[in-house]
Structure 1
Amino acid sequence: MSTPQPPSKTQMRRLAWASLIGTTIEFYDFLISGTAAALVFNKTFFPALGTASATMLSFATLGVAFVARPLGAILFGHYGDRVGRKKTLVSTLLLMGLSTVAVGLLPTTGQIGVLAPILLVLLRVCQGLAVGGEWAGATLLTAENAPEDKRGTYALFPQLGPSLGFVLASTTFLSTRLMMSSESFAAWGWRIPFLLSIVLIAVGMYMRLNIGETATFRQAVGTQKSSRNPFLEAVTRQPREILLGTGAVSMCFAFYYIGVTYLTSYGTEKLGLSQTFVLAVGIAIGATLAVSTIVGARLSDRIGRRRMMSLGNLFSIVFALLMFPILSVGTTWAYIIGACLSQVGVGLAYGPVGAMLPELFATRYRYTGAGLSYNLAGVLGGAVTPLLAVQLQDSFGGLAIGLYLAGVAAVSLLCALAGAETSKRRFDSATDPVAAPVTPSAEADTILPTR
C-alpha cells in the first residue's frame, strides 16, 4: 500500500480555510446563544423570576450545551475515526445550523408557556452535540496535514474560531441593536443573528464539501488500522492523557466564557453600561483573543506546547486576582482593560491546544481522544464557571470570582506541567504516539506548505 501524498500548497490552503470558516461559524452559532442569554433570555424565557434567578437559569441553558459536548465528542468522534474527518464535519455543521435557526424561530414563554424554555434547552443540547464533534475534526484537518515542525502554526486556523466567532456574534448583535429600539430588540430583534446563521451555514457547507480527507487518516485506513471502538480504546489505553489534557485546557474555557458571557451581563446589570457599549467591547475582546492565540500557537512550535501553555496559565493566575478590582472601578476604560486582558492568558494557552491535544493520541482514535479531552474541559471550565460567577458575585463580590478563576488556572498549570512535551511527536503511525525527533522542514517560515 503506497503512502498517501501530502497535500499541495493549494490543497493545504483550502483545508486551512475550511477549518477556519467552519469553526468560526460553529462558534458564532454557539456564542450568539451566550450573548442572548446575557441580554434577553432571562426576560424572554424566564420572565416570572427575579433578575438574579432568571440570569442564572439563562446561563444554565448554556450549561446543558456544555454537558452535551462530551457526548458529541464521543458520538461524532466514533464516526470521525471510523469513516473520516470530512463526512463527520459536514454532519456537525448541518446539525449546528439547523438548531441555531430553530432557536431564532422559537416562541417565547409568553406565547407557549413552559414549553418554550424546554424547547430552548433541547436545541441547546443539539448545539452542544454539534460543537462537541466539531473542534477535533476541524483541528485534525490542519494538524494531520501539517509539516511536523510547524504543526502549531497550521493547527492555529481552527483555534481562531472562538475569537472570530465572538467578534462576528458581537458585531451582529451590535448592528441589530443599533438599528432598533430596546423594546424592539427585546421583542424580536434578538432573533436576527440566529436566522442569519442559515447564510453562514451555506458558506461553510460549500467549503467542507470541497475538501479531501487527511493523509494520516487515509494511511491508517489503507493499513487497516482504524479502530472499531475509538472511545473504548481511548479511555482504556490513554486515560492519563485524557485527564491531563482536560485539566490543562480547563482554564481556557473558564476565562473565555467569563469574558464572552458573564462580563456581558456584568457590564450591563452590575456596572450600568449600555448594551451597545458592552457589545462593542465584545469585538475588542475577540480581537485580543485572536492576537494572543496566534502568538501562542506560533511560539509553541519554537519553545514547546507545555512551556507556552504554562506561560498562559501563569498570566491568568495573576490577572484573575486583578480583574474584578479593575472592573469595579466602573468606568468605560476600566471595563475595556479588564475584559480584554482577561483573554490574553487564554490565547497564549489556547493557541498550542490545536496541536497539543491531537499529538497526545494515536491516529486510530485521535478524533475521539482529542475531542473528549477538549469538551470535558468545556464542562469543567465553560459550563460551571458562569453559573458559579453569578452566585459568587451575589454572595461574596467579584474578588471571589477572581479567586475561583485563579484556582482553575493553577490546576491547569499543574496539569500542563505534569504532561509530556508533544511538539516532537510524529503522526506517521496508527499505533500509540511515540516521541521522535523532527527535522526542520523547508517550509519552516511559511504559512502554507508546498509539495
Structure 2
Amino acid sequence: MPGTEVHSNPSPPPTARERRKVLGASFIGTAIEWYDFFIYGAAASMIFGPQFFPSEDPMTGTLAAFATFAVGFIARPIGGIVMGHYGDRVGRKKMLLISMLLMGGATVAIGLLPNYAAIGVFAPILLVTLRFMQGLGVGGEWGGAVLMAVEYAPAHRRTLYGAFPQMGLPAGVITSNIVFIIVTSIFAPAVFSDWGWRVPFLLSGALILVALYLRVQVEETPSFRNARAHGDVESSPLKTVLREHGGTVALAGAISIACPAFGYIYSVYLLSYGTKELGIAQSTLLELIVAGAVVQLISIYIAAILADRYGQRPIFLAGAAVVAVWAFPFFMLVNTASPLLIFVAFVVMLLGTSLMAGPQAAMIAALFPANIRYSGTSIAYQIGSILGGGFAPLIATGLYARFGSTTPTSIYLMILGLISLIAIATLRVPSAQPIESTTVGDRQADPVT
C-alpha cells in the first residue's frame, strides 16, 4: 500500500513462553475491563436510580438507570470502528492499551462523580458521558484481545486461545459481584447508598495498573508483523470490510446476538427484578450470579476444547438451540423465587451461552483477512452486543412494566436465540488453518453460503 513501511523479513514464530504471556495478558486484561463494565450494571440495578435519577416512582428511576447502561452499548460500535481502523493500521497492542486507559479512567471518574443532590442535572449528564467513554473502551477491547490470543495460537488450539478473552467476561462478573458482596456486607445500607457504592469503582484504578503492566510486556501479534513486513497493511480497513465482507459482518453480528442478551438479563436485570418484584435478598442474588459465572468460566473452557476437536459450528449450534428452548423455562424457574431453582435456571442458560462463547472468538476472527481482521471482528461482535445485550435490561424492564409478566421477555429472548441459530446455520465457517496465512495477498472469499 502507498506510504506503508515494508520490512524485509517476516517475524519468527512465537515461542511457548510468549504464548503463555499473551494468554495471561488477554485473560486478566479482559477480566478487568469487564469488571469495570459490570460494576456499572450492578450499580445501575441497585443504586444509580435514586442517586442520579430521583423520582417518586422507583420504576421510572430504574428505567432511567438502565437507559444509561444501554448508552455504553451505543458507544461500543463506535469504539470498535475507530480502534479497529487503527488496530489494522498501527497494530493491536497500541489499541488495547488505549482501550484500557479509556475504560479505567471513566470507571474511576464515576466513583468520584457527585450525585444529583449535589450538582443537579449535571450529575446524570456526566454519568452518561462517562458511560459513553466506557463503551468506547470496551468496544475496542474485545476485538484486540481476541486477536492477540488467536493470532498467537497454533492452528490446532486456535479456539482454545480465543476462549481466554471470552473467559475474562465471567471472571469480570465474578470479581465485580464479589466486590459488591463485600462492600454491601461491610457498610450499613445507609452508608452504602451514601458513598460505599463508590469503592468498587475506585478500586478499578489499581486493577488497571496491573493489566497495563501485563499488556506492555506483550509483543505485537505475528499476523500484524507479517502483514506489515509484506506491505499488506490496509489503508482503509473499514471500507474494505464493508465492501468485500458485508455479508459476513451481518451474519457474524447475528450469531453474536443471543449470548449477550441472556448474559445481561442474568447478570444485570435480575438484580433489579429479583429484589423488587420477587422479594429476594440482594446478597442472595449476587451470590447466585457469582456461582453461575463460575460455571460459565469453566464451561467456556470446555466448550473451546470440544470445538477444537469436533468443530466450531456444531458446538455453537448446540448452544444456540439450548438458549432458544430455555427462554421460557428460565423465567418459570426464576419466578419461583427459590434460590436452588434459580441456580438451576442460571446453570442451564449459562451452559448454552458457553457453548456459543467458547468457539465464537476464533470463529469470527477466522472470517477476515489479517489486514482487516481487527475492524471486521470488532464491528461484527459489537453489532451483536448492541442489538442483543445493550438494550436487554431496559427492554425487559419496560415489558414487565407494561404487561406485568415475564412472558413477553421470554418471547423476546427466544427470538434472539433463534436469530443466532439461523445465522450460524447460514454462515460458512472456515476449516482450521494457521490464521497468520490469511493476509491481503491471499484474500478470502466472503464466507457466506
TM-score range with shorter-chain normalisation?
Answer: over 0.9
Q: Is the 8 A contact 2:367 2:429 kept in 1?
A: no
SS in 2 for 1:14: helix
Length, aligned pairs only: 436
> Do the aligned partners of 2:10 and 2:230 also contact (CA within 8 Å) in 1?
no
Spell out, residue by residue over 1:341-400, the C-alpha distance to the aligned partner (whole angstroms, 9 max, x if none).
322211110111110111011111100100000011111011121111012222331122
Q: Partner amino acid for 2:416? A: V
- Structure 2 residue aligned with 1:8, among 10, 15, 39? 15
Per the alignment, residue 42 of structure 2 pairs with 35
Q: Which amino acid aligns with 1:24?
A: A
Task: Confirm whether residue 340 of structure 1 aligns to residue 347 of structure 2.
Answer: yes
2:64 is the alignment partner of 1:57:
yes
In structure 2, C-alpha distance between the alignment counterparts of 1:101 and 1:142, rounded to whole Å: 28
The 3 A distance-change label for structure 1 pair 355 and 393 is same
Matched to 1:433, the amino acid is Q
1:383 and 2:399 aligned: no
Q: Check whether the contact 1:304–1:421 (CA below 8 A) recurs between aligned residues.
A: no
Please tell me whether the aligned partners of residues 267 and 335 of structure 1 are also in contact (alpha carbons under 8 angstroms). no
Q: 2:93 aligns with which of 86, 89, 100?
A: 86
Report SS of the residue matched to 2:391: helix
What TM-score do the two structures reach when normalised by structure 2? 0.95
**Alignment equivalent of 1:312, drawn from 319, 326, 334:** 319
Partner of 1:21: 28
State the AA in 1 paired with 2:80: A
Distance in 2 between residues matched to 1:250 and 1:38, nearest whole Å: 22
User: Which region of structure 1 is more displaced relative to structure 2, 41-50 or 87-96?
Assistant: 41-50
The reply on whether 1:233 has 2:277 as its aligned counterpart is no
Which aligned runs of 4 or more in structure 1 are off by greater than 6 angstroms?
none
Deviations 1:258-286 (A, max 9, x none): 11100111111111111111111121121
The one of 390, 400, 416 equivalent to 1:408 is 416
Match of 1:447 in 2: none
Tell whether the 8 Å contact from 1:77 to 1:133 is kept in structure 2 after alignment.
yes
Question: What is the identity, as a one-letter code, of the residue corresponding to 2:384?
Answer: A
Instruction: Please give the residue correspondences for 1:180-199 in structure 2 after superposition, counting only pairs within 5 Å.
Output: 180-199=187-206
In the alignment, the residues of structure 1 paired with residue 446 and residue 430 of structure 2 have an alpha-carbon distance, to the nearest angstrom, of 7
CA distance in 1, matches of 2:12, 2:444: 21
- Residue 46 to residue 355, structure 1, CA distance change in 2 (3 Å): same
Match for 1:429 among 424, 434, 438? 438
1:69 aligns to 2:55 (yes or no): no
Deviation track 1:98-125 (CA, whole Å, cap 9, x = no partner) reads 0000000010001111110110000000
Aligned mate of 1:133, from 133, 136, 140? 140
CA distance in 1: counterparts of 2:394 and 2:60, whole angstroms: 10
Q: Distance in 1 between matches of 2:350 and 2:272?
A: 17
**Counterpart selection for 2:150 from 117, 136, 143:** 143
Q: Is the 8 A contact 1:37 1:59 kept in 2?
A: yes
SS at match of 1:374: helix
Q: What is the CA-CA distance between 1:63 and the residue it aligns to?
A: 0.6
Q: 2:277 aligns with which of 265, 270, 291?
A: 270
Choose from 118, 125, 135 the match for 1:118: 125
Q: Which amino acid aligns with 2:42?
A: T
TM-score under structure 1 length normalisation: 0.94
Deviation at 1:338, TM superposition (A): 2.1
**CA shift for structure 1 position 425:** 4.2
Equivalent-residue separation in structure 1 for 2:313 and 2:69 (angstroms): 30
Corresponding residue number in structure 1 for 2:3: none
The partner residue of 1:175 within 182, 186, 203 is 182
Instruction: For residues 14-49 of structure 1, give each alpha carbon's deviation from its aligned partner in whole angstroms, at most 9, with x where no partner exists.
Output: 000011111001000011000000111111111125
Determine the structure 1 residue equivalent to 2:330.
Answer: 323
Distance 2:258 2:15 in 1: 36
**Higher mean C-alpha displacement, 293-302 vs 106-115:** 293-302
Percent identical among aligned pairs is 37
Q: Match for residue 219 of structure 1?
A: 226
Alignment partners' CA distance in 2, 1:159 and 1:219: 26
Corresponding position of 1:283 = 290
**Structure 1, unpaired ranges of 5+:** 437-451
Give the deviation of 1:339 after TM superposition: 3.0
Any gaps of 5 or more consecutive residues in structure 2?
Answer: 1-7
Decide whether the 8 Å contact of 2:170 with 2:294 is kept in 1.
yes
